Chain A
């Protein structure tokens, strides 16, 4: 289990983004973290993956305090992170990235199995460079594939829907539906999309740098959508909140 205890983080500009995050991510489930922009969702993901360091608080993976570990050590502990804005590389191919993720050379049929999970034809994509010639939708799928190739203990997907067109998004939903069916370890998805929220086992609402609510998806989602309709969403900033 992943546990976050009283995590705080201040942006380099001085604004406090996280104001004491307490969160337990259950094993073997798909947890979706949602909430308004600027509320701290991506920061939580980056702190867990080790891309940022908290001001205070602790991060525990299966009871072990990993707060002081760097990105590489956390990756070796089985934490994977799919970037919201995937990184492009001149000269590295899809095969290269998947093999780095998988920890060694991968036979064609395994590459094919991974890529078909994200809806890409292996024959076409294996030799492609992960550079600017890939569309937003394509690179997003490849980013997700690099996480799938790792068979991680904990996989975090940061807004998989960001920056892709509606058509690609329709297909991406299927990727996460599939992922949930064959869940390995625990999966955390940061998302605003109702269709991703609707497949969550566990929903976490983060706003103003704190966890506002957490519970099973089927219980929390109707409440969230209802709140949205009446303009009283629990995640919306209330009067007097400092953003």
Chain B
């Protein structure tokens, strides 16, 4: 295994030399290792690049890891992964993505992940994005996530992009049936001239379905971010979205959250805030002995934790 591959795996997929369960490592557009387990089957898609991942009904406590890596410039990888999560299963999916280029040419990964959760299924979905290497080549990661939640299914998505990705267009859509819940935690950091777009669109179709989307981001340097969210309540449901952004230097953030209630018992809330680090916060940490720079770094690290 190449050193770049090892480094990226460690960073994006909690790899410690091995994976805890079923896995597929995608490296530069091809599978570099795979293991299915009795309850989690991974197979090639027949209609295009990517995988079909089937989790047996009732599977509990298993993890499936599907890291995707681009280890050099000149690669534009596109992959479609479909997850079918059986009734009552409760699993963790780790889908990190690392992109490395240092030869001056671009490296891009575009992962399209579709999740179909059957009744009472629960998924924790961890997605960590990272760009490494120097040179003028652009690191791009453009994930698309489509989620279909069956009755009382729950999906918790924890997604972060904490450095090195120059261009990112992140799109997430979800449809929730009765009693289903979608929980999303997003953390984004952009620096230099990086640009990141993120777009969430959730349809709460079933009675007592719910969504909770919390996005925290930091835009430094001359970076730009765009946040869009749209929660549509088509039944008695609860929806909450929150986007908090810290801007520094000449960073720019454009946030436009939308709430659409098409039902009299839809309860939808949005909270949004954009601003630089509060002076009082810096002062408080300085009274504890931190310099202004240390205080700023600590506040940002906590905010994006």
Residues of A within 8 A of B (CB): 49, 51, 70-72, 75-76, 79-81, 83, 86-87, 89-93, 96-97, 100-101, 103, 146, 150
B interface residue numbers (CB < 8 A to A): 216, 244, 278, 280-281, 283-292, 298-299, 301-305
* B290 contacts A100, C-beta separation under 8 Å: yes
A to B CB contacts below 8 Å, 24 in the list: A49-B287, A51-B283, A71-B286, A71-B287, A72-B286, A72-B289, A72-B290, A75-B288, A76-B289, A79-B287, A80-B287, A83-B280, A87-B280, A87-B281, A87-B283, A89-B302, A90-B216, A90-B302, A91-B216, A91-B301, A92-B298, A96-B302, A100-B288, A100-B298
Closest Cβ of chain B to A126, distance in Å, is 15
Chain B residues contacting A90 (CB-CB under 8 Å) are 216, 244, 302-303
Q: Can you add 20 more A-B contacts, CB < 8 Å, to A71-B287, A89-B303, A96-B302?
A: A72-B290, A72-B292, A75-B289, A79-B287, A81-B287, A83-B280, A83-B284, A86-B284, A87-B278, A87-B281, A89-B281, A90-B216, A90-B244, A90-B303, A91-B301, A91-B304, A92-B299, A100-B298, A103-B289, A150-B289
Partner of A101, one of B244, B288, B302, B305: B288
Provide the main secondary structure of the chain B interface: helix
A86 to B290, CA, bound (A): 17
Contact of A72 among B216, B280, B291, B303 (CB under 8 A): B291
Q: Which residues of A contact B280 (CB under 8 A)?
A: 83, 87
Which residues does chain A contribute within 8 Å of B298, judged by CB atoms? 92, 96, 100
Once A72-B290, A92-B298 are accepted as A-B contacts, the answer to whether A100 and B285 lie under 8 Å apart by CB is yes
* Chain B residues within an 8 Å CB radius of A87: 278, 280-281, 283-284
Question: Which residues from chain A contact B289 at a C-beta distance below 8 Å?
Answer: 72, 75-76, 100, 103, 150
**Nearest Cβ in chain A — how far from B305, in angstroms?**
5
A92 near B302 with CB under 8 A, answer: yes
Which of A70, A93, A101 has the most chain B CB within a 10 Å cutoff?
A101
> In the complex, what's the smallest C-beta–C-beta distance from A234 to chain B, in angstroms?
32
* Least CB distance, B53 to chain A, in whole angstroms: 33
CB of B250 to closest CB in A, whole Å: 23
Contacts of B284 in A (CB 8 A): 83, 86-87
CA distance A114 to B285 in the complex (A): 18
Distance to closest chain B CB from A162 (angstroms): 15
A71 in complex: contacting residue of B278, B283, B299, CB < 8 Å = B283
Q: Residues of A contacting B278 with CB < 8 Å?
A: 87
